[in-house]
Amino acid sequence: MTRKMDMDLLSEKIRNLADSSGLDALGFAEAAEFSDYALNHSQRRDPKLSLSGAKTIIVAGIYIGGLTLPAWMNPRYGRTSRLYLSAFFLDVVKPLEPIVNLLRNQGYQAIVCDGAQEDGSVIPLKLAAVRAGLGWQGKHTLLISKKYGTFLALGGIITDAPLEHNTEQESNQCDKCDKCQQACPLGALDQPYVLNRNSCLSNMLQIEHLPREAKAVMENRVGDCEICQEACPWNKKHIDHPLTTNMTESFQKKIEDWETFFYLPDLVNLSEESYREKLGHLNTDIPYNLFHRNVLIALERVKNGESDE
Ligand code: B12
């Protein structure tokens, strides 16, 4: 009984900390194996390989739909994604720190899914978020939250603290909708709920070999693609009328001069050093030469009058 009260109290403290750190969504899940995880990445599949006494996975989400975006609809500006602008995992890692400190002060171990390196991504975050009750995986494979659509950047902690565990998962609401599948110009979602990584434009824009079919559809994208997310009906209200949340302001500060930063005629002259200085903290993983290649293609398109402008 006392143990249960302690557990509830700690879970409650974590919820309060999450609120004050600006996290928009939080859930607790049992740290059991993700037996349906398809990648050959055993550490990610089994949280106990990261922490042998793991009991709980804490999954957190930050709403990234509220960013003021650069002038992406103008083909003279390079286009990226909300996740890219919000520094992938990193903005979810920082607000998790107070929770990690609390757990450690109480004598528990806590490992953060920092995502900065391949092995830092110690949890399959979409599957963990579903288990924690934050939403369901859509046909584009992304987590859909009723409140935030797919615009939740996810982060997580594995801990040996015995916290409350969610037991009710959100039911899948995609039903017959296949808008994301139809929207993908490269057929990366031909099979619902499975992303063919080799055909995903987000992936292609960060690898050496850019196939001709990707070049034909990338438009002004210089890194990352959000086509499937833009087509998702659960995102419509966020695209038309983004919410303002606690974090919107801090994201915004970081991209203050970015409305002009992505102007292609200037962007093409960005040196490797400035690239690192300006975008390094965003953890995009896109090497300078590939970013520059993407910018050149986008600019060429404007010069050749292939854009609608
Ligand atoms: C590797 C990776 C990528 C790779 C590969 C993507 C992939 N196949 O998942 C690349 C570089 C291509 C990529 C792209 C993007 N990514 Co990514 N990526 C990751 C990363 C690091 C691991 C994901 C992973 O494990 N994939 C492996 C595959 C096997 O997992 P899966 O797609 O979930 O596969 C499951 C389903 O297919 C399911 N399944 C099969 N059949 C069926 C049937 C039904 C009915 C159901 C429900 C499920 C189901 O079973 C599989 C489970 O094994 C995570 C962070 C993390 N640590 O989790 C971020 C992450 C998943 N990415 C994210 C995002 C946002 C993107 C992009 C949209 C980026 C952008 N442009 O904004 C694009 C994705 C486009 C898309 N439609 O997915 C977010 C997702 C947030 C969210 N709300 O869901 C994450 C969580 C990062 C973050 N910190 O927030 N990504």
Query: Which residue's CA is the nearest one to ligand 1's atom 41?
Result: 193
Query: Which residue's CA is the nearest one to ligand 1's atom 14?
Result: 202
Gap from CA of 140 to ligand 1 centroid (Å): 9
Gap from CA of 188 to ligand 1 centroid (Å): 12
pLDDT of residue 1: 46
pLDDT of residue 115: 66
State the chain's mean pLDDT as an integer: 89
Query: Which residue's CA is the nearest one to ligand 1's atom 11?
Result: 203
**Using one digit for the tens of pLDDT, what is the confidence trace for 47-102?**
999 999 999 999 999 898 987 777 888 999 999 998 888 776 666 778 899 999 99
Question: DSSP assignment, residue 280?
Answer: G
Mean pLDDT of the 119-134 span: 90
Mean pLDDT of the 155-184 span: 96
**Using one digit for the tens of pLDDT, what is the confidence trace for 5-54?**
777 899 999 999 999 988 999 999 999 999 888 877 778 889 999 999 99
- Is residue 152 scored above 90 in pLDDT? yes
Gap from CA of 142 to ligand 1 centroid (Å): 6
Q: Percentage of the chain with pLDDT > 70?
A: 91
**Mutation probe of ligand 1 site: the residue of 154, 219, 226, 238 with most atoms within 8 A of C-beta:** 154
Gap from CA of 247 to ligand 1 centroid (Å): 23
pLDDT of residue 250: 65
143 close to ligand 1 (CB < 6 Angstrom): yes
**Using one digit for the tens of pLDDT, what is the confidence trace for 205-254?**
999 999 999 999 999 999 999 999 999 999 999 999 999 887 666 666 66
Q: How confident is the model at residue 303 (pLDDT cuts 50, 70, 90)?
A: confident
CA distances (Å), 158 to each of 46, 52, 152, in order? 11, 10, 19
Q: Which residue has the tokens 């302001």?
A: 249
Calculate helix-pair angle for 272-279, 288-303, nearest 10 degrees: 100
Query: Which residue's CA is the nearest one to ligand 1's atom 15?
Result: 202
Gap from CA of 192 to ligand 1 centroid (Å): 13
Q: Specify the amino acid at residue 6.
A: D
CA distance linking residue 174 with residue 168, whole number of Å: 18
Gap from CA of 89 to ligand 1 centroid (Å): 13
